[in-house]
Chains A and B, each alone.
Chain A
C-alpha cells in the first residue's frame, strides 16, 4: 500500500500522463489501479464508489453516505470526499466533480475494470463528454488496470 507521499507522486505522474494524452480526467472504480494510486482497497458492490482524478487539481472521492466513516480511515489521497445517500445518484456527484474541475468538454478516461453501469450512469448525465479507455494512460503510469 503506497504511503501518502508515494501516492501523491503516483497521482502527479498520472496527471502528467493525462495532460500528455489530451485527457481531462480519469474515473476509477475499486481495483488494482485505485490501490496502486491511492492505497484504497474497497470491495465493488452495487453501490458506486469511485475516485475522479482530473488532469489538474485534487482528486474527488464519491462514495455511499453510510460508508463515510469507514472510507475516511482509508483515504489519504485528497480530502474532497462527496457522499451520496441511498436515494441519491452517485453519478450526479461524479459529474459535478468533473464540472468543478472545469471539465465541460473533451475526453475522459474510464478504468477498464469499471463496470458498464457506472460508465452508463455518468454518460447519461454528461453525454457531451467523450469517454475513452484508461488503459494507455494507466500503462504510461506503470499500472496494469486488470
Chain B
C-alpha cells in the first residue's frame, strides 16, 4: 500500500499537511545518532541504458502493430520516462511525445523548455498562447503515416489534451494505449529488477535505523521525520506512513495525532525511489510486549502473506493469488470478501516506475503471471477499534516461482529477516 500519493494532496487536512511537510524536512538537530551514522547506499547503481530504452520502443512498436495502433501519445509521466528517460515537472502546458508504429518519435514541447529531449530528436516547439500545440501533435501523427485510424492515448493523459487532439484531428479513433504501455512495463528486465532490489534494500536499512529510535511518547510525525532523514542519509528520496495502536487498522492511516505507548503495534509503510523505480514495504511490529490476540493475528497475517507468495507461480492467474491469501484470512473467521474485520482490499498491486501500476492481484483479474512481473504481497487484516496488521514485501516472478526483494518479517517483535 502506498501512502505517497495521498500525502501530496489527500484528505489529511491542513494540519496533517503541515505535519507531512515537517516530516519531509527534518530538523538536523533532532536527527538521532543512528540516522546520522547512515551512509549513502547509492554506489554502483546502473541507470537504464540507452540501448534498453531503444529495445522498449521496439517492443512498443510491435505491440502497436499487434493492436492496430498507428501511434501512441503520452504526456510527461512514468510512461514517457520509461521509453525516453525524459521527465518534466508537472506543468499545465503540453509536453507530449508521439511514439509511432513506424518512424522516429516526435516531441511537442513549449518553445522555452529547460529540458530538451535527447539527441537529434524531432522536436516541434510551440509558443504558448500563439501556436496551437494540438495542430503540431496532429501534424506529427500525419507525418508518421498515422493521420487517421486508431491512436492510443496513455492512461494518465489529461482529458484536456485528448480533447485538444480530437478537435485538431477528428478523423482519428482514440483508444487506450494500455495494451502497449502496460504490455511493455509489466515485465521487468534484469536491470529494472536490480534497481528495484536496491530501492528495497535501502528501505529496509531506513526502517532498521528508524525502528532503533522507537521510544515511549514518540509521535507518528517524529517517526515519519526520522525515516525521511534516514532516506536522505542513505542518498535517496523516500517517505513513510506511520500508524500506532488502533490506527494501524486504517489502510491509509489516520489524521489523528498518535503517541507511542507500551503494547502498541507500530505500522510503517511506503518506500523510496532509485532511478525512478519504487520500493514499497510495510512492517507491523510490537512496541513492548504483545498480547496473545496481537500474536495470533500477526501469525495469521504472515500465513496469508506466505499463501500469496506460494500461489504466485508463472501461469497462475492474478485473482488466484488474491484468493489464496484471502482464504487464509476468511478460514480464520474474518471477512468474508472485503468485510471488516478482515481484508478490505486486494492482496497486491503491480510496482515499478509507479508505486501502484498494472497489473493487480485482485478478484476478477485473470491475467496470468509471467516471469519478470512484480507485485506487492500485502493481504492486511484490519480490525477497526483494535488494530491492524499488514506485512508487505514486494515479489518478482521467476520461472520457478515468486521471490521477495526483502526478507519477510519473522515475528511480531522481529521486523527484519
Interface residues of A (CB under 8 A from B): 30, 40-46, 64-67, 69-71, 73-74, 85-87, 110-120, 132-133, 135, 145-146
Contact = CB atoms under 8 A, between A and B. Distances in A.
A41 B9 contact: yes
Interface in B216-243: none
13 contacts: A41-B13, A65-B344, A66-B338, A66-B344, A69-B250, A110-B159, A112-B159, A112-B160, A114-B159, A115-B158, A117-B178, A135-B160, A145-B160
Interface string B351-379: 00000110000111100000000000000
Contacts of B142: none
Interface in B65-111: 92
B58 to A, nearest CB: 24
A53 to B, nearest CB: 16
A121 to B, nearest CB: 9
B247 to A, nearest CB: 12
Interface string B147-175: 00000011111111011000000000001
Nearest to B380: A66
A85 to B, nearest CB: 5
Residue in A45, A86, A113 whose Cβ sees the most chain B Cβ within 10 Å: A86
A64 B10 CA distance: 14
Contact of B11 (A65, A70, A111, A119): A70
A87 B364 contact: yes
B252 A67 contact: yes
Given A66-B344, A85-B338, A86-B338, A116 B11 contact: no
Given A117-B178, A119-B162, 15 more contacts: A30-B9, A42-B9, A42-B10, A43-B9, A66-B345, A85-B337, A86-B346, A86-B362, A110-B163, A112-B160, A112-B163, A116-B155, A116-B176, A120-B175, A133-B163
B399 interface: no
Nearest to A113: B158
Contact of A70 (B159, B160, B252): B252
Contacts of B160: 112-113, 133, 135, 145-146
Contacts of A133: 159-160, 163
B160 to A, nearest CB: 4
Top 6 nearest A-B pairs (CB, nearest first) are A112-B160, A66-B344, A87-B363, A43-B10, A87-B364, A117-B155
A128 B102 CA distance: 33
Contact of B159 (A42, A73, A115): A115
B155 A45 contact: no
B12 to A, nearest CB: 8
B336 to A, nearest CB: 12
B415 interface: no
Residue in B156, B162, B319, B337 whose Cβ sees the most chain A Cβ within 10 Å: B162
A58 B176 CA distance: 31
A74 B11 contact: yes
B331 interface: no
A8 B6 CA distance: 26
A41 to B, nearest CB: 6
A71 B159 contact: no
A117 B338 contact: no
A62 B155 CA distance: 19
A112 B346 CA distance: 30
Contacts of B345: 64, 66, 86
Contacts of A43: 5-11
Residue in B157, B163, B175 whose Cβ sees the most chain A Cβ within 10 Å: B163
Contacts of A87: 319, 346, 362-365
Contacts of B252: 67, 70
Contacts of A112: 158-160, 163
A106 B337 CA distance: 38
Nearest to A73: B11
Contacts of A73: 11
Contacts of A69: 250
Given A44-B5, A66-B251, A116 B363 contact: no
Contacts of A86: 338, 345-346, 362-363
Nearest to B319: A87
Contacts of B349: 46
A145 B319 CA distance: 37
Nearest to B252: A70
A87 B317 CA distance: 14
A3 B11 CA distance: 16
Nearest to B162: A116
B133 to A, nearest CB: 15
A117 B344 contact: no
Nearest to A71: B11
B154 A70 contact: no
B176 A117 contact: yes
Contacts of A44: 5, 9
Contacts of B251: 66-67
Contact of B250 (A42, A70, A118): A70
